[in-house]
Structure formats: C-alpha cells, structure tokens
Amino acid sequence: MFKKLKHLWHVIRRLSGDDAYEQYLKHHAEFHQSSIDVPPPLSRKEFFKLWQDKQWKGVKRCC
C-alpha cells in the first residue's frame, strides 16, 4: 500500500514537472560527465526559466 502511494506520488511529481530539475541533473550527469569542457549544470532557478519558456512554444492545449 505504502509502496503504491509512493509510486503514485512519483507519477504526480513527474506529470506536473515538479521533479523536472532533478531529471535534468540526472540527464546532465549521465550524458555530459565524460567531457571536460562542458559547462556545469544550470541552477534550479535558471533551469526552471528555460524549461517553462520552452514548454509554451508549440500547440499545447486543445479545444
């Protein structure tokens, strides 16, 4: 039961974008660690700005 609730919470966080920064850090660590000249990851605030602006570029909501 507790495990299921935890999973649901995880899904809600992912759906809403609440954990987007954590996902970004994970992606950054996974894909950009090997090269030396890659800049350090963005701060939470900077990342969120970019993420939010990017989200509203295309058709996102329907009738």
Partner 1 sequence: MNKNFKLMWWVLVAIIGAYAVAGIALNRGESINAIWLITAALCVYAIAYRFYAAWIAAKVLVIDETRATPAERLDNGRDFIPTNRWIVFGHHFAAIAGPGPLIGPTLAAQFGYLPGTLWILIGAVLGGAVQDMVTLFFSTRRNGRSLGQMARDEIGAVGGTAALVGTFMIMIILIAVLGLVVVNAMKHSPWATSTVAATIPIAMIVGIYMRNIRPGCVLEASVIGVVLLLLSVWMGGWINQHETLRVWFDHEGLPLAYAIILYGFAAAVLPVWLLLAPRDYLSTFMKLGTIILLAVAIVILRPEIHMPALTQFIDGTGPIFGGKLFPFVFITVACGAISGFHALIASGTTPKLLMNERDIRMIGYGGMLLESFVAIMAMIAATVLEPGVFFAINSPAGVVGKEAVDAVAKINSWGFAVTVEQMQQLARDMGESTLFARTGGAPSLAVGMASIFGSAFGKHLLALWYHFAIMFEAIFILTTLDAGTRVGRFMLQDMLGNFNKKLGETSYTPSVIFTSSVVVAGWGYFLYIGVIDPNGGVNILWPLFGIANQMLAAIALCVATGILVKSGKLKYAWVTGLPLLWLVVITTTASYQKVFSTDIRVGFLAAADDLASKLYSGVLPPEKAAVAPQLIFNQHLDAYLTLFFVVVLWVVIVDMLRLCLRYVAGKPVRKLSEVPHEPSRLVENWVRD
40 vs 58, beta carbon nearer partner 1: 58
Please report the beta strands in 1-63, taking only residues with DSSP state E, as ranges in sequence order.
none
Asked whether position 47 contacts partner 1 by CB under 8 A, the answer is: yes
Interface size with partner 1, residues (CB under 8 A): 33
CA 46, distance to chain mean position in Å, is 12
Task: Return the exposure string of 26-42: e unless at least 16 CB atoms fall within 10 Å of the residue's CB, then b.
Answer: eebeeeeeeeeeeeeeb
Which one of 1, 4, 16, 36 is in contact with partner 1 (CB under 8 A)?
A: 16
Residues that bind partner 1 (CB under 8 A): 11-18, 20-21, 23-24, 27-28, 31, 44-45, 47-49, 51-63
